[in-house]
Structure 1
């Protein structure tokens, strides 16, 4: 269950002030050329890349919020209605937006919010709170490998994400093995092979049309024998309504569990951010069928409605684990609620 932000005390005000100070420091560092190139969530380079990725969303969303903040002297029903419209237009969704606005209205009634700037600070804190709500520790088995399935419908970027994720883990000092379990789509194996070469990792494959559970068996056996840290399994695109393909996925899960206790340790549902609320409806039903533990949100740089990340956290009760922000190998970022909201409203 997601718990929305419901208080706005002195500690929250302090956090808001610290957030503004951090934003100002980041801007000064950027202007002075002192920002680093770190891709970690705490690094200024990460913030800059996230800010660049959500440019279209920020231009669409932040400008509206800033206008509301600038014009608000007293938080009344009119300003809340304007804010509600801006949130919905950013693809945060009606249900999530309603809960956010209700919470803001309650705070305005019980504890006076002094003007637009304080309203903006409260909104920022609440968005972070919603995004952090479903975050849970990532399962790390005591004995490797950790097995991660990438699942989702066709066209969301699972194979590309598999290669980028392999590179990301290598950057964390982990050994990685890729498993080409998408034996259904033409050229999927060859595509993953290209990404394996780019990321500098080995890959286990079979012929097109082969048994995905069989290739997974070979990959898991190899990962155990070689003491590989991370086994990433690229699966075929499927809809939750395709019983044959869902049965195939269940067979793969059983195979993984037999060879590696607790596997799969992560099931990442790959979603295309540009599909917005339409994709969310599909993902909701798919999540129930596939047992997803987290989301990879691809093509975040290609949408003007990046608020879908907030809707995912609230409505699917799943953490966004990674976001795709471009075509390059390094364009997969570990998601940070704070960095995302700062970039969105900065």
Structure 2
């Protein structure tokens, strides 16, 4: 909530525009803070400095004063950063999810599939289909994540996409991940498949198009199928349906030997247990709780992923653990 407050006040952007360490008095003067609240701003900033969102540095012309600087974490929160993470902050702290999380103990005592259904009477995806504000919130979050992870994938795993002529991004939302891929591979034809209400108003380009459909019914044929942060939303039975449709898509495309499914998702416990890995594990565990609260899926370990792949008829897989809490998995027919 403190971070969200800082974003709503515009603190990262104000500090960034200042161009040098910004003192508390300068920050107060630049923000829309009521005069009776100015002495509280230090308390907010003190916590956010401790959490690593801002840093302190001596001011060049006054070594008795310190000023605030951005850190790598707050750089991701700037308005003009194409990989902004602030939509994710807005989503997880939106009243719709706060209310859902507050209902967890009630859910444990009934037979609803998740706490979201306990609160709203329907799954989150159905709710989003007729609540424009919720749909916008989810799509903005997915789009910003795709901008960030798309750039990371193309730095760390660019070879995964080399040699492909066509790719379908299943549940690809507004297409930011697909756009990053086709920008790097202009000769690759990419299709974004998602629910009709998600892609209804989206415009494609020469090598990128949007298709309304249902991944549980069919996936268009392509050399490769991409599933980014999709399978963790669903239990094993539904994942098997999706994966079988993906396998059929690459088989129908004539790529039985060379085609593959590319999955970007978490692999629980896929760490070496140093200090950074402890933070990654914590993130994975928290995301697993979010899947329990809002969805019907879960985060999986390698053994659980392997069972899914083999049950769906695939013969082999390769895990590339290069995306922090997530990994890129190549699955072969």
TM-score where L is the length of structure 2: 0.30
Between Structure 1 and Structure 2, which shows a larger proportion of strand residues? 2
Quick one: higher RCO (CA 8 Å, sep 6+), 1 or 2? 1
Between Structure 1 and Structure 2, which shows a larger proportion of helix residues? 1
